[in-house]
Amino acid sequence: MRDSHAPERRHGDSCIDVEDLVVTYRVRVRENAMAMRRARRRKSTVEAVRGVSFSVGRGEIVGFLGPNGAGKTSVLKCLSGLLHPTAGRVKVLGHTPHRRSTDFLRDITLSMGQRNQLLWDLPPVDTFLANKAIYRIPDARYRRTLDDLIELLGLGPLLSKPVRQLSLGERTRCELAAALLHEPRVLFLDEPTLGLDVEGQQALRTFVAQYRRKRHATVLLTSHDMSDIVDVSDRVLLIDGGRVRYDGDLAKLVAKVAPDVLIRCRTPHTVPPPLPGCSAVWWEGEVLCVRAPRELAAHAASTLLSSLEVSDLTVTPPAVEDVLREMIVGEIHGKGSASTLLAGDTNA
Mean pLDDT of all residues in 213-219: 91
Q: What angle do CA 16, 22, 25 make, to 5 degrees?
A: 125
Tens of pLDDT, residues 141-159: 999 999 988 988 889 999 9
| φ, ψ (nearest 5 deg) of residue 264 | -120, 125
For every residue of 192-208, DSSP letters joined together read: TTTT--HHHHHHHHHHH
Please state the pTM of the whole predicted model: 0.78
* pLDDT at position 12 over 80: no
Question: What's the mean pLDDT when you consider all of the chain?
Answer: 85
Q: Give the per-residue pLDDT at 313.
A: 95
Residue 260: pLDDT over 50 = yes
User: Percentage of the chain surpassing pLDDT 70?
Assistant: 85
CATH number of 259-317: 3.30.70
What whole-number distance in Å separates Cα of residue 236 and Cα of residue 231? 12
What residues pair up with 248 in beta bridges, in sequence order?
A: 236
**Whole-number pLDDT of residue 5:** 52
Of 26-35, 221-230, 244-253, 274-283, the poorest mean pLDDT is in 26-35
Higher pLDDT, 336 or 195: 195
Best CATH choice for the domain 14-254 from the list 2.170.190.11, 3.40.50.300, 3.40.50.150, 3.40.50.2000: 3.40.50.300
Contact between 1 and 209 (Cβ < 8 Å): yes
CA dist 187 and 261 (Å) reads 36
pLDDT score of 347: 54
pLDDT of residue 3: 58
* 78-115: pLDDT as tens digits: 999 999 999 999 999 999 999 999 999 999 999 886 66
- Out of 38-42, 49-53, 170-174, 264-268, which region has the weakest mean confidence (pLDDT)? 38-42
Domain with CATH 3.40.50.300 in the chain: 14-254
Reported as a pLDDT band with limits 50, 70 and 90, residue 348 is very low
Contact in structure between 229 and 324 (CB atoms under 8 Å): yes
Q: What is the pLDDT of residues 33-74, one digit of tens each?
A: 555 555 556 778 888 999 999 999 999 999 998 888 888 889
**CATH 3.30.70-classified regions of the chain:** 259-317
Side chain identity at 79, as an amino acid letter? Answer: L
